[in-house]
């Protein structure tokens, strides 16, 4: 009898399909912020045909109930009626078998915060971080960080994530630009603000665009046609590209017997390539390399230190190393570790004069190489110190196929599919964007690819929402200027042109708060504030000056050029204590630019140079590092860099491949 009962229930299991609980996407969670003044889409999954009820309840709001049924594919969606700001509320979702209750739900303003590392940059690494964190008691500002993931096809849901309240315990990991933007809105409007942080450092704009949008753009269509159908195929394509790069670099890989001789002090490495250390492998054509690389260099030992014990420091190495001095192995690691490498050199292993270091580095997967700082690489004893940072010889000994990817830039669409698509159609007010550094080499094409991405997102949400972005800050990327060309200046120009190409856009100009020596300037407070000015004016109707002067037109008068501007506010000023304008250059028909004198006269700028008798063009702030450009309006906002000519730039031929 027991066996027959067991058999009966076993048959039932195979006769009837298992039932699933009603489910919400990961973006719906306790402490979330819903967009005010708009119908709010709520969606999820259940059994086909299952009735789903969604109710918003709380003080001052009752009876907000909507009902729908899941389709044949188990998907369901409904829209709650538009509400004004308020909360906290409960969002209750009921199915046949389960009830989901989300607590502490607010209604206010929701903004997506996206881009690359300068948007990802956290509060804890920004200016006055300790003070900012201690003061972060804003329970009505909420933050959701989208997990970073890649995919060749759009995904329906995020792999995780949670809404966090702004507290000193939480805020350190928030997007700094997003947080300071949201804080400015909250302080001005007095309403809840939700920040959806979807950013990934070092990413190009093409990875944030859908496949369909890329296909619609003629310059991308061939790339889309050649796009792999699976991550496995993408991995194979990456490996083939890597193999070609290795062959071009050094003509192939050595035999094991050949590479074993590379530790010897007498080995001739004259035909090896050079590399500057410390650095990761994950750059350029070798960005996907997993395997073994050897590094060699010499150092001089003073006679006074001969016969003495020294310390060899290499910093941290990813993943494992074997280190040789004058052909003798003096240390190494057989397991992956992030600890710095420090080895003792005995007198018997050294000699006065030339000494040779050889290091075999094995990377098991992901990034690899020397990951410490320049100060970590040295030979030392007591007060003596000799830096080993700088130029080394290197050669690849082995390449391992780990199906590893360099990341989201391996193909277009990879981040749209995982970090944007699952958010649609979450109700929000608009987006802020800080990206462009990774597209500087293709700045001219960015004139089209950036507006394409904006339009793509708006098409997917079926709404022309406000899109506010940050122009590139000052950074000495490659010493670019008017003489040899500047990819960063051309990228800033492409960003500026987006204001004309895309409606309801605003640009925060920040070259004055950049850092010529750091691509991640730490003053994120002013970046957030300048974005917020655009939002307050464009979205919330406040009477504020939101941007600095913008070049409008030029008029030549003899050996001088008069420049006219819009957005001058209450007047133009030179932002220094001496009142001198800097950053202007002038050229004649020969296209040779000279630093120019400039002065403010009757709300316009007069520019001239004694070296240019017949000027035809002016540049302002046209360089990678344009910190010195100091034309502002009296409201304290900088003028956007510009040029009056349309002469061919250095990025016009570069294309996404």
- Which region, left, alpha or beta, applies to residue 329 given φ > 0 means left and ψ of -120 to 50 means alpha? beta
Distance CA 155, CA 423 (A): 10
Q: Which residue has the higher pLDDT, 155 or 232?
A: 155
Could you tell me the maximum CA-CA distance found in the chain, to the nearest angstrom?
110
User: 657 is written with which tokens?
Assistant: 């491949």
| Better-scored residue on pLDDT, 336 or 111 | 111
First to last CA, the chain: 69
**What whole-number distance in Å separates Cα of residue 153 and Cα of residue 231?**
10
Backbone angles phi, psi at 651, to 5 degrees: -110, 5
Residue 546 to residues 115, 538, 567, 628, Cα–Cα distance (Å): 22, 9, 9, 22
pLDDT at 638: 98
Cα dihedral 123/125/127/129 (nearest 10): 60
570: exposed, middle or buried (Cβ count in 10 Å: 0-12, 13-18, 19+): exposed
Average pLDDT over residues 201-213: 96
DSSP string across 295-362: EEEEEEEPGGGTTS-EEEEEEEEESEEEEEETTEEEEE-SS---SEEEEEEPGGG--SEEEEEEEEEE
Residues 6+ apart with CB under 8 A from 71: 48, 49
**So what's the architecture of 240-399 in CATH?**
Sandwich (2.60)
Structure-token pair, residue 148? 């970073």
Distances (CA, A) of 305 to 165, 309, 311, 389: 59, 8, 12, 20
Q: Is the pLDDT of residue 281 over 60?
A: yes
Q: Is residue 19 scored above 70 in pLDDT?
A: no
pLDDT value of residue 13 = 45
The strand pairing partners of 276, in sequence order, are: 391
Give 407's pLDDT tier (boundaries 50, 70, 90).
confident
Segment 163-167 mean pLDDT: 98
CB of 569 closer than 8 Å to CB of 545 = yes
- CATH number of this structure's domain 1-33+110-227+411-546+647-657: 3.40.50.1110
Give 343: exposed, middle or buried? Use CB within 10 Å, 0-12, 13-18, 19+: middle
pLDDT of residue 7: 44
- The closest of 601, 559, 560, 522 to 125, measured between CA atoms, is 522
**Contact (CB, 8 A) for 350 and 325:** yes
Q: Where are the beta strands (DSSP E) in 447-592?
A: 467-470, 505-508, 550-557, 560-566, 572-574, 584-587
Q: What pLDDT score was predicted for residue 406?
A: 61
Q: What is the fold of 550-639?
A: Thrombin, subunit H (2.40.10)
DSSP state of 416: I
Mean pLDDT calculated for residue range 146-169: 97
The rounded distance, in Å, linking the Cα atoms of 642 and 621 is 7
- pLDDT tens profile 558-589: 999 999 999 999 999 999 888 899 999 999 99
Which CA distances in Å does 632 have to 488, 538, 572, 595?
21, 21, 6, 19
- Residue 17 is predicted with a pLDDT of 47
Is residue 8 predicted with pLDDT exceeding 90?
Answer: no
Instruction: Return the structure tokens found at 49.
Output: 């045909």
Neighbouring residues of 478: CB distance < 8 A, sequence distance ≥ 6? 487, 624
Instruction: Please report, for the chain, the start and end positions of each structural domain, with discontinuous segments joined by +.
Output: 1-33+110-227+411-546+647-657, 240-399, 550-639
Rounded CA-CA distance 409/208 in Å is 10
Dihedrals phi, psi of 249, to nearest 5 degrees: -70, -45
Q: What is the pTM of this model?
A: 0.85
pLDDT per residue over 526-552, tens digit each? 999 999 999 999 999 999 999 999 999
Q: Tell me, what's the pLDDT at 232?
A: 83
Percent of the chain with pLDDT over 70: 95
Q: What is the mean pLDDT of the chain?
A: 93
| pLDDT tens-digit readout, 421-457 | 999 999 999 999 999 999 999 999 999 999 999 999 9
């Amino acid at each position: 009898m027991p066996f027959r009962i067991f058999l009966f229930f076993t048959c039932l299991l195979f006769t009837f399909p298992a039932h699933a609980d009603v489910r919400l996407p990961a973006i719906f969670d306790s402490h979330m912020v819903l967009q005010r003044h708009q119908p709010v889409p709520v969606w999820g999954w259940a059994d086909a045909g299952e009735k789903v009820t969604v109710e918003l309840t709380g003080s001052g709001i009752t009876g907000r109930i909507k009902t729908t049924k899941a389709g044949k594919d188990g998907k369901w969606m409904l829209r709650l009626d538009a509400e004004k700001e308020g909360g906290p509320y409960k969002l209750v979702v009921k199915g046949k078998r389960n009830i989901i209750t989300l607590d502490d739900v607010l209604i206010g303003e929701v903004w997506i915060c996206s881009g690359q590392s300068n948007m990802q940059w956290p509060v804890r690494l920004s200016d006055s971080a300790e003070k900012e964190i201690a003061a972060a008691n804003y329970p009505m500002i909420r933050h959701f960080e989208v997990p970073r993931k890649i995919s060749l096809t759009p995904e329906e849901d995020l792999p995780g994530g949670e809404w966090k309240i702004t507290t000193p315990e939480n805020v350190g990991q928030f997007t700094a630009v997003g947080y300071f933007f949201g804080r400015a809105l909250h302080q001005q409007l007095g309403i809840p603000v939700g920040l959806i942080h979807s950013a990934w450092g070092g990413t190009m704009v093409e990875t944030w665009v859908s496949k369909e949008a890329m296909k619609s753009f003629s310059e991308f269509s061939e790339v889309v046609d050649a796009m792999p159908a699976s991550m496995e195929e993408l991995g194979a394509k990456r490996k083939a590209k890597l193999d070609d790069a290795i062959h071009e670099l050094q003509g192939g890989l050595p035999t094991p017997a050949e590479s074993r001789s590379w530790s010897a002090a007498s080995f001739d490495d004259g035909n090896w390539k050079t590399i500057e250390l410390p650095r990761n492998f994950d750059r350029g054509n070798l960005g996907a390399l997993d395997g073994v690389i050897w590094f060699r260099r010499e150092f001089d030992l003073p006679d006074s230190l001969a016969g003495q014990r020294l310390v060899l420091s290499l910093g941290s190495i990813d993943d494992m190393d074997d280190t040789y001095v004058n052909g003798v192995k003096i240390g190494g690691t057989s397991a992956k570790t992030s600890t710095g490498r420090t080895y003792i050199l005995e007198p018997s292993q050294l000699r006065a004069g030339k000494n040779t270091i050889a290091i075999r580095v094995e990377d098991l997967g992901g990034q690899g190489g020397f990951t410490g700082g320049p100060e970590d690489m040295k030979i030392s004893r007591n007060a003596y110190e000799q830096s080993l940072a700088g130029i080394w010889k290197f050669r690849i000994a082995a390449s391992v196929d780990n199906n590893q990817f360099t990341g989201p830039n391996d193909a277009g669409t990879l981040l749209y599919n995982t970090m944007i698509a699952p958010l649609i159609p979450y109700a929000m007010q608009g987006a802020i964007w800080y990206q462009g550094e990774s597209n500087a080499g293709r700045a001219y094409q960015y004139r089209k690819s950036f507006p394409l991405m904006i339009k793509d997102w708006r098409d997917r949400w079926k709404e022309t929402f406000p899109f506010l972005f940050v122009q590139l800050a000052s950074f000495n990327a490659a010493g670019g200027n008017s003489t040899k060309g500047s990819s960063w200046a051309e990228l800033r120009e492409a960003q500026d042109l987006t204001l004309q190409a895309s409606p309801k856009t605003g640009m925060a100009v920040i070259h004055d708060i950049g850092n010529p020596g750091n691509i991640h300037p730490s003053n994120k407070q002013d970046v957030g504030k300048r974005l917020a000015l655009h939002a307050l004016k464009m979205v919330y109707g406040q009477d504020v000056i939101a941007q600095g002067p913008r070049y409008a037109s030029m008029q030549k008068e003899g050996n001088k050029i008069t420049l006219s501007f819009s957005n001058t506010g209450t007047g133009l000023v030179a932002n220094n204590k001496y009142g001198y304008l800097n950053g202007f250059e002038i050229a004649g028909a020969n296209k040779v630019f000279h630093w120019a004198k400039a002065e403010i006269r009757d709300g316009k700028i007069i520019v001239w140079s004694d070296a240019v008798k017949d000027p035809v063009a002016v540049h302002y702030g046209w360089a990678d590092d344009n910190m010195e450009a100091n034309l502002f309006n009296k409201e304290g906002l900088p003028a956007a860099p510009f040029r009056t000519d349309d002469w061919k730039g250095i990025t016009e031929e570069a294309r996404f491949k």
